[in-house]
Amino acid sequence: MSDFVVVDNVEKSFPLSGGKEYLALKGIDLVIKKGEYVSLIGHSGCGKSTLLNMIAGLDLPTAGIVTLDGLAVTKPGPDRMVVFQNYSLLPWLTVRDNVELAVGEVLTEKSTQEQREIVEHYVNLVGLSGSIDKLPTEISGGMRQRVAIARALAIQPKLLLLDEPFGVLDALTRGNLQEQLVRICEENEVSALMVTHEVDEAVLMSDRVVMMTNGPGSKIGGILEVDIPRPRKRLEAVKHPSYYQLRSEIIYFLNQQKRVKKMRAQKVAVVPRHGLEKVNLEIGFVPLTACAPIAVAQEKGFFQKHGLDEVSLVRESTWRGVVDGISGGYVDAAQMPAGMPLWMTLGGGTVAQTVPVVTSLTMTRNGNAITLAKRFQEQGITTLPDIKRMLAESTEMPHRMGVVHPASMHNLLLRYWLASAGIDPDKDLQLKTIPPAQMVVDLKNNTIDGFCVGDPWNLRAELEGTGFTIATDVDIWNGHPGKVLGVREDWAQAYPNTHIALVKALLEACRYCADPANSEEIRKILSQREYVGTSVDFIHLGGPADVVPGVNSVAHHLFYGDNVNRPSRTEHLWILAQMARWGDVPFPRNWVEVLEKTCRVSVFSTAAREIGMSAITYGKGAIKLADGSSFNTEDPIAYLNNLDIKRDITMTEVALDLPRAVA
């Protein structure tokens, strides 16, 4: 498809009283192809309708340019037709006459009879043949909107501009008209730009969804490619593997924008007290059994004990929410997958720039498992060699498995496990990033074949008969770091005493979680809505005595003890090598300095000493993995070069701009 509409660095501002102005849009770059259907979505006031009006020629940009077929848009034209939120019908004309007026003005080359046939065709298309001779006052509001859509389609424009066109229609009419409109656009190669607030509408109808950030100075926050094949039927589209992933991505974006707006409005001041630089903290977490130390520190008063009087916990549905919260400064600290501090420090994935993050506490180890759909167990696929054979023989492609984040141990362990059997996790199957709480739902819907995640979701899949545990992390790397405490490096520098107090509170909470006598109490805490929010039956902390009847295994979380809580640079080097192996981050030439910067052992040591836990030991031996391979910590580059299955590995020198934090 060729470029049809080009929006080039467009800005739009509106004058205010007192000589001031309101900047509505800033730096908008967008290309719409011939025959493409694009949706604009965002919260009210983000400039969606303003952008649509400029493309329509009803308004002009303050800066930048909009072109249509290579010509600058300076005024409205019959090649663009707008369907507004209101009906814009002439009340003294019938349905037929309202549509015929537009057709007569634009399609002048058509005979009167041809024009009449066109009018009747499009009125019939929107289901109003029986009301064609009625006045607008004699039909419902939804029917009037259908007249406006029929009028827009009847003049056969090159570009259809729709400003929430289905908002007043009932669900059945809306669904039918959505499918008809997309089909008409496809058949006639009409491009369309639609403003919508409906997430499902955007996914169902669009080739791409453009997500707008909050105003003032709104910009494009992201563009999603909708890979669901056309023609699309609603009931078929929702079964496509990408449907709920796309839907979740849009909902996440909208929720994040709402949160940003709230944070801007609050402007919470830093509150010092008790010799600490800051006592009012916001701490992010994701609802998993592994969030137990954070929940316990809040519920049992460990934060307050160490002077952190005003701690609010921010429950994120995805690890991406944690990334955005730390990157944007919306949270002070967060529970993170073990690889996330390095991933953010090195600019992994979609992070626009490097965000130096440090970790000074390992809060959990183990706790993850690999679950496959029950149908595979029924087919006799119960081991890793079985999976390899199945993939080699299967005509059902592609097979998909869910992980929660590229930097998570779930992703790295699953990849390592598969690759150890000669399975390429990117070529022999597909790995999808899915929020933890969505894993079981996707498994039930057959949009994924399995997943690697932390409990309670593996256990829940087994108890509900949806899946079975084919391997646990104990089978791959027993004692691996699971979740860590992460803070921005500049935050650690600004609040060194607060940082130590936070580690002390969470370290005490980790010890509380490790005591079997507290297990039932902790399970009840985690089951509450503000934490994991699921049945207590699905929550188990693990341990030799923790057995659930009818379940292969229960994740064995390690919260406290020797070789548990002290951050290990050796372990983080393995994580770094694995992320570089799969192309998620470059491998830094100055990796020794990067690890020293990221793993703040001194902060942990100070915190442990001040609460009488300095006797905790830590392991210095080699990392032992189930496949029997050895990890060369002295020469990780040689280790990477000797791997059979890997992506193209890049290397770079990482600038260590900030001085070492005070600990």
Q: Domain map of the chain by residue range? A: 3-79+157-258
* 3-class secondary structure per residue, 145-158: HHHHHHHHHHCCCC
pLDDT-derived band of residue 103, with 50, 70 and 90 as boundaries?
confident
> Of the ranges 137-151, 315-329, 495-509, which is most confident?
495-509
Dist. CA 71–CA 4, nearest whole Å: 10
Of 87-91, 375-379, 586-590, give the lowest mean pLDDT range. 87-91
**What is the C-alpha to C-alpha distance for residues 497 and 596, in angstroms, rounded to an integer?**
20
Give the Cα separation of 494 and 659 in Å (integer): 12
Give every CB contact of residue 233 below 8 A, 6+ residues apart in sequence: 179
- Nearest-Å Rg of the Cα atoms of the chain is 29
pLDDT at 357 over 60: yes
Q: What pLDDT score was predicted for residue 620?
A: 66
Confidence of residue 308 (pLDDT cuts 50, 70, 90): very high
Question: Are the CB atoms for 618 and 568 separated by under 8 Å?
Answer: yes
| Per-residue tokens: 14 | 């509106």
CATH classification code of 3-79+157-258: 3.40.50.300
Look at residue 265 in the predicted model and tell me its pLDDT.
64
- The rounded distance, in Å, linking the Cα atoms of 334 and 352 is 20
Residue 627 neighbours by CB distance under 10 Å: 12
pLDDT at 663: 31
Q: Closest Cα to residue 598, out of 481, 507, 511?
A: 481
| pLDDT bucket at 619, cuts 50 / 70 / 90 | low
User: Both tokens of residue 323?
Assistant: 């990334």
pLDDT of residue 7: 93
DSSP secondary structure string for all residues of 107-131: -TTS-HHHHHHHHHHHHHHTT-GGG
Q: Answer yes or no: is pLDDT of 266 > 80.
A: no
Q: Does the pLDDT of residue 662 top 50, yes or no?
A: no
Calpha distance 352→64 (Å, rounded): 24
Residue 216 preceded by cis peptide, ω within 30: yes
Give the span between the Cα atoms of 370 and 427, in whole angstroms. Answer: 19
**Which residues share a beta bridge with 402?**
432, 451
Return d(Cα 446, Cα 460) in angstroms, integer: 16
**Nearest residue to 327 via CA among 260, 266, 276, 278:** 260
Residue type, 410: H
pLDDT of the residue at 659: 42
Please state, rounded to an integer, the average pLDDT across all residues of the chain. Answer: 87
Provide the pLDDT confidence category of residue 102 given band limits of 50, 70 and 90: confident
pLDDT of residue 459: 84
pLDDT of residue 307: 95
- The pLDDT value given to residue 547: 56
CA 544, 546, 549, 552 dihedral sign is: negative
pLDDT, tens digit (0-9, with 9 covering 90-100), for 529-579: 889 888 888 888 766 555 565 555 556 788 998 889 999 999 999 999 999
Helices (H), 37-170: 48-56, 95-106, 112-125, 141-154
Question: Residue range 591-616: average pLDDT?
Answer: 91
Identify the pLDDT of residue 351: 45
DSSP state of 213: P
Confidence (pLDDT) at 660? 39
Q: What is the DSSP letter of 661?
A: P
What is the rounded distance in angstroms from the CA atom of residue 584 to the CA atom of residue 650? 10
To the nearest whole percent, how much of the chain has pLDDT over 90? 44
Q: Average pLDDT in the 58-64 region?
A: 92
Which run of H or E residues covers position 442?
helix 439-444
The single-letter DSSP state of residue 229 is: P
Least confident of 85-89, 308-312, 460-464, 605-609: 85-89
Looking only at the bridges linking them, the beta strands covering 467-472 and 368-373 are: antiparallel
What pLDDT score was predicted for residue 525?
94
Answer whether residue 16 shows pLDDT above 60. yes
pLDDT by residue (tens digit) across 434-479? 888 788 888 888 889 999 988 888 888 888 889 999 988 888 888 8
How far is residue 18's CA from residue 30's CA, in Å, rounded to a whole number?
33
> Is the pLDDT confidence value at 147 over 70?
yes
Give this prediction's pTM.
Answer: 0.73
